[in-house]
């Protein structure tokens, strides 16, 4: 069921973005609302990541999950918080995105024969 694992991994990445942003908003877990949201996203991201890793190799799955989380948090950080994203940072985020895409493209089932 590798075809279902990748959408679940993308969902885990989205939950990781939510976790990273809510941890930032919690200000060191001193704001209750953001802290509770962070805990929920944390549990969701770990659960969905563990489901995806049933069929995706852990090294590839973890790299994709972490890449989605890093890129998503870096892109959305300036939207929700007083953060900046420089052109140089955007370029390196594009490199991460390209790496994630290539990892997905390289995850082809081995032919039996």
85 phi, psi to nearest 5 deg: -130, 110
Number of domains the chain contains: 1
* Residue 24 lies inside a defined structural domain of this protein: yes
* Residue 111 lies inside a defined structural domain of this protein: no
- Residue 3 pLDDT class (50, 70, 90 cuts): confident
CA distance 67 to 59: 12
pLDDT at 88 (0 to 100): 96
CA distance 35 to 40: 9
30 phi, psi to nearest 5 deg: -100, -10
Residue-range definition of the domain harbouring residue 32:
2-106
* Residue 113 lies inside a defined structural domain of this protein: no
Average pLDDT over residues 13-40: 97
Summarised one tens digit per residue, pLDDT across range 31-78 is: 999 999 999 999 999 999 999 999 999 989 999 999 999 999 999 999
pLDDT at 113 (0 to 100): 46
Does pTM top 0.75 for this prediction? yes
């Amino acid at each position: 069921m590798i075809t279902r694992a990748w959408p679940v991994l993308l969902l885990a990445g989205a939950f990781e973005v939510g976790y990273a942003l809510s941890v930032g908003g919690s200000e060191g877990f001193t704001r209750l609302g953001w802290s509770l949201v962070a805990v929920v996203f944390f549990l969701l991201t770990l659960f969905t990541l563990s489901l995806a890793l049933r069929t995706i190799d852990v090294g590839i799955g973890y790299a994709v999950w972490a890449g989605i989380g890093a890129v998503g948090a870096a892109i959305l950080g300036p939207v929700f918080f007083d953060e900046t994203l420089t052109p140089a940072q955007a370029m390196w985020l594009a490199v991460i995105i390209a790496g994630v895409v290539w990892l997905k493209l390289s995850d082809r089932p081995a032919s039996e024969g």
